[in-house]
Amino acid sequence: MSKKIETLFIFSFLVLFTLATLYPALNIIGISLRTDDAFQTRSLALWTAESSFRSYFTLFLETDFLTWMKNSFLVSFVVTLTGVVLASTSGYALSRFNFMGRRAVLSSLLMTQMFPATMLLLPFFILLAKLKLINSYLGLIIIYSSTALPFCIWQMKGYYDTIPAALEEAARMDGCSRFSAFIKVILPVSSPALVITALFSFMASWSEYVVAAIVLQDPELYTLPLGLKSFQASLATQWGLYAAGAVVVSIPVTILFISLSRFLVSGLTVGSVKG
């Protein structure tokens, strides 16, 4: 009996949170399909008599949305790649080698996480201005990478720490150099951590607005969040368009999460060493 009550309790809890999560998403989809800019409606209907895909057509055909999307993909891709390459290698060094300054590096990486990114805006801006990197993707990529990396490095290091050193040693006895043991044996085992690193780096750049707003000034260079915001700038915000943009922006992230979720299973090392 108490088991049933427990289950009931758990389920109502879960349902409540699911609703809280789903409502805004459904609402946005509903608005994007409406043509009347009635974003304050309380109606939960996704499809009404006036609904159409007009906003989506407008979005793709009459705005710079596709350019922004291309820009965002470019930036996010480079940031993800940089994040994965640098975090996987430096995390490995921090996990396996005992070099001078190792502890200092680890704690200073952690320390950077204590400052909110907005606090660093001004120093970042000055830095980029001096380096003449304002209005360039390189500047944006550097900032995104440097803010995402500390977490990713720690994350990778933590994962490598759980992999027994005997695994690389076995690979080295089998004929691998240090580097190829890392590439051929350790990296495949670390795929769950690599996926998290990649996701985190991607997310850090895909939906970032504040930093992009100060670095990028030329509308041609806008990333998606900046572009979306520009819909709002005109006198009357076109909510339908805005919502359609928001829906399209979230699609790649959703796909990414769903397709990578199977890699997120941990415990891949189980079986290599005693149970």
Instruction: Please answer whether residues 55 and 240 qualify as being in contact, where contact means their C-beta atoms are separated by less than 8 angstroms.
Output: yes
Stretch that binds other proteins, among 151-159, 167-175, 226-234, 248-256 (CB under 8 A): 167-175
Distance CA 222, CA 216 (A): 6
User: Which one, 54 or 184, has the nearer CB to other proteins?
Assistant: 184
Please list, residue by residue across 47-63, b when 16 or more beta carbons sit within 10 angstroms of its beta carbon and e when fewer do: eeeebeebbbeebeeeb
Binding of residue 270 to other proteins (CB under 8 A): yes
Instruction: Please answer whether residues 257 and 150 qualify as being in contact, where contact means their C-beta atoms are separated by less than 8 angstroms.
Output: no
Binding of residue 183 to other proteins (CB under 8 A): no
Stretch that binds other proteins, among 22-30, 102-110, 170-178, 240-248 (CB under 8 A): 170-178
Instruction: Please answer whether residues 20 and 202 qualify as being in contact, where contact means their C-beta atoms are separated by less than 8 angstroms.
Output: no
Binding of residue 170 to other proteins (CB under 8 A): yes
Binding of residue 101 to other proteins (CB under 8 A): no
Instruction: Please answer whether residues 119 and 211 qualify as being in contact, where contact means their C-beta atoms are separated by less than 8 angstroms.
Output: no
Binding of residue 264 to other proteins (CB under 8 A): no
Give the residue among 197, 65, 200, 217 at the shortest CA–CA distance from 140. 217
| Residue of the chain from 22, 173, 264, 265 that contacts other proteins (CB under 8 A) | 173
Binding of residue 135 to other proteins (CB under 8 A): no
Binding of residue 272 to other proteins (CB under 8 A): yes
Residues forming the site for other proteins (CB under 8 A):
164, 166-167, 169-177, 180, 184-185, 188-189, 191, 268-275
